[in-house]
Every structure is written in C-alpha cells, then in structure tokens.
Amino acid sequence: MDYEKLKAELTDDPLTRGYAEMSDAEAAADGHSKYRTKPKTSMTGSEVLNAVVKSEYAALSADSKTAFWQLLHIGELNPFGVEKDLLIDIFGPGSDTIAALALARQDAISRWDDLGLGNVRAGDIQRVRA
C-alpha cells in the first residue's frame, strides 16, 4: 500500500469527491466505486462482434462483410489502432455500431485502481488521516 499516494489523494482531493466530509468507511467505499474509465489496450473479436448492431451488419455489402470477418480473425485487435479506422470504413463514422465500439473500448475502473492502490480499506484511510 502506498500510503503517501493515498494521503495525497485524500488531502488534495483532485477530483473533488468530498473525502473530508466522508467517514473512513465511506471514503474507502467511494474509492472502490467504478466511476472512471481506462482505455483498453486490446479487444477480442468477440468483444467487437458483440458491439455490432445487427441491422447495420445486415445492410453491409458482401465485400464489407468479408472485410469485417477478416478483421475479426486477426486475433487481438487494437481498439485505437488501424483496426478502429477499418471498422469506421466498414460501418460508417456516424453509425450506432461505431458509437457502441467507442464505449466498448473503455474499461470501468475505480479511483483506487486508477491510482494503483488496490484494495483500500477503512483502516488504511484511518491510518493516513491520523
């Protein structure tokens, strides 16, 4: 546990969570709530496929469907790389599929995860406040 980092978070409250008004247990619980996002470094073909809007897929040309399936079968996809650009080319920049993929390429994380603090408990909060 990096108590210095935890103390700085509680003291500075850079995201204005209101730690000063919270009990130790409330502050620990708040830090575990997943209200932040972190970009994924890779996605599986299945994750991409599950974000596709069926009606948009059905409306694709045969060549676009082939390109889509070839893309899914390359293995892990970089959600911020060339794969993203190819998917936009296939489905169109304003499509619901591209909007769904933009959401799917983010992971929900807690503030403690964001800071690399792990499992912060009320006792940890109490220790740095003392």
Q: What is the pLDDT of residues 102-114, one digit of tens each?
A: 999 999 999 999 9
What is the amino acid identity at position 45? G
Q: What is the pLDDT of residues 61-93, one digit of tens each?
A: 999 999 999 999 988 999 999 999 999 999 999
Are 35 and 111 contacting, i.e. CB atoms less than 8 angstroms apart?
Answer: yes
Which candidate, 114, 115, 109, 85, places its Cα nearest to that of 98? Answer: 85
* pLDDT value of position 75: 85
- List the beta bridge partners of residue 109: 36
- pLDDT level of residue 1 (50, 70, 90 thresholds): confident
Q: Which positions ≥6 away from 50 have C-beta within 8 Å? A: 104
Q: What is the pLDDT of residues 2-31, one digit of tens each?
A: 999 999 999 999 999 999 999 999 999 999
Q: Could you state, in order of their start, the residue ranges of all structural domains in the chain?
A: 3-35+110-129, 39-107
The answer to pTM > 0.75 is: no
